[in-house]
A and B are shown apart, each in its own frame.
Chain A
């Protein structure tokens, strides 16, 4: 092999080596690219697999693990989410080593606090893929000093001479990379792609968060609806016992952590807090009645409730024991063990009181509730307010109902008194009539007796004289007078009996009654009763009795009624009719003849008693009111307003009807329809 050959060979080898080296580089580059692609793909797959927003940390950890594996030359990496409106950024810290809490929101910084952040603004505006700020020397130290007030960064004893701050953008934020040296173009490109993939994760995270928020809202609304429904169904104070299990189950379904809950209903009038407590298992634990000043907790709760603010208190085990002891001493609880749930007595607890209209919702847990959790309890409290207001309305309604009922009972008592007095009043009206009615037959009895006494003397004389024909005539006269005496004696007797019947309460026994005779009897009583009261009173009475209604000797005919009751109705109608014609008469209308007509009518299966007056009639607008209790057009003291109402009730109780027809200026007609 000559030199030339050797040289050629060497050149070839060199060329091949060079090519090999190039190929090696190319392979390495390709490998790197493949690595990057594989890493990105892994992250993408993880991103699409995200099912809940809580997986963000896990997914992000995959991304940063991949970045770590690609050995990007960085001191730290992190995520920033922009708050466009406020030129600010949420800083999330990522530490790969901590697999549990990879993403934690560290702080919220304004972009104007330092040039490192300030430079992000124009870069984003110009749609650059990333922003970069290089700090050197003292600026590095200064940066960390500035940021130490915002971020809890590891304390730097030794500061790097140079630090490069990169922000690789995705639509809502940036992946921040801090390095000691400038990143290579390749590294920058990798970061740009990773930022885009993170953008994907973040978008997915936001979507999931939104969907979850909607789902939560639905859950919350369902829960609140249940609360409304439950409270709306409460009807008594006993039902309030149901309020704690309700609160318990809703706090559970809303995902609020707690091991004790309850309701403080605050009664400002009695200055008492009614406390309904639930045990950890959801059962009602205790119902306490605490005065506002019973202990500092109660007074604090009441104070905060008045201000409509949330109240929180932290308890150690001793506080809990003290409370239990004091409740026991006050006799509020019977069993300390049961109350404390001794086996599970908490070492420490945080008590939260969230106000609603009528009190405070109490939630106790081992740790303080987060703002979100308190927010959820607040919306529950709002629902309690609304629902409880309805419950209160109901209680008010119940109270109103009770008061109406007691008023009604009083009214009924008063009414029955009035009915009695109405009866007595009509008896009073009757008395004068009765006196007159009895007086007349008594006069006849007396007169005919006297006449008979004279006649018997004459009879003796005629017999002594032997004038037997004359004696016979006289004897006949005596006989017919005796019949008159018997007749009028019976008449008086019937009147007295009628009066007794009227004053006696109705025994409710129906009997076959001659309504013609009944109507006639009460017509006379009413007429003479009024006459006795008012001397100037007078009216023409027309009777038109349907004889087919009379009771025959064989006991046929007649109507089955309670005679004293129907008599009272007739009396009332007559009294009204006489009152009406007297009123009209007082107007001094020429040729006016006050007339009251009573008519009976056999209408097949019905019997009618009709009372007609030619008075002024009843105005149309009050015609439908005349049967209402206490309705009267008579001056105060003249009528109870119960007469027609009672009459109506009596006729109805007989299965009949009382009908009124009236024409103004012409008169009024009342029809009693009775079933035969």
Chain B
């Protein structure tokens, strides 16, 4: 019997395929030229820039049935992920030498995880969402455990793996319920069937929805699914922490947004309040617990929980304004968080990681440049004008207010004010305390580039927000 088979159009999936090829080539390059570690990072930087250009030129398309969707929404998030990869690669060269991470597979694992993210961002089918998520998560589990002689890294890797497996189980259970109730895993198909069969308020369907939502909230690190974040951010190599706080988070939000608006567009009034509660919990937990942290990486971990809460403010509205606010916020967050981590990495030297808050005492005297940059990034994370963080938060709050979530917005502003305490405390340490010891920082070209890009991004978007906001507004899923 002849089986009719036509190859699906491969054009839309070309960036992902190129990235897979590059990841495999990197393993081979590492094998053939073991002494030239710089070659690997240079190749990654070139590939990433090439792919970003390629993505800008991509035209919307759907391929593999409806499993793989390339729309401006997907392209926007893919560029955030690639940007995260680019910045992490720039930061990695110096850090890998200091921590003596010799594995060349470091870069290819990062590339593979970005392939996973890009796939899940484009996924129009829950099976592809799940597989992309696993592809992303598995690579990151390995990357977190790269510092094999550090017990914190081992603990982090194991914890992440166990909790990740648990959250995947929740997600899969939810997907199986949705599939059983609707007979399809296609996102648009689910929405259509729910309308036709009128099962939108069926408790079994809602349970499936809640389980899937929990799985995604785990991936973006929103409370009450945040417990993994501090230990893992603390234990992982700092470059990987910065990568994790930007790229997988953006991918998680992209999938969550697509899932909500494509599969359950009709029940916004039901999931809106649930997400509002999750957002408020995240802001409360993140901002309040961050106050008691003594380690910069842990503090930034809690701050990333809080920022996940802010970003959810846009999604819960279900409106195009809200979505574009979340999208631009994630982009801005990528700039400012990468910048803050770049300074943390800059201060890290052989034998002394300088991750404690007290290590920042008197930094303004010994390293005025690093202190000034950290000041800008912390101001932006707090949301003080004229930095980009202010613009991002402003539009998020405005969108949530317009959708009628007044109390959510009021509480969000209060939590945001609380966050100023621990961000500004670090600034006080840097500018108003005496340094216990002096040290010289080493600026490698990669770190200079990363710092410059983030600083220009944070200030540039803060002063000229129009370009980014317009781009985000144009990149929405067609409602």
Task: Tell me whether A and B are bound partners.
Answer: no
B interface residues (Cβ-Cβ under 8 A, vs A): none
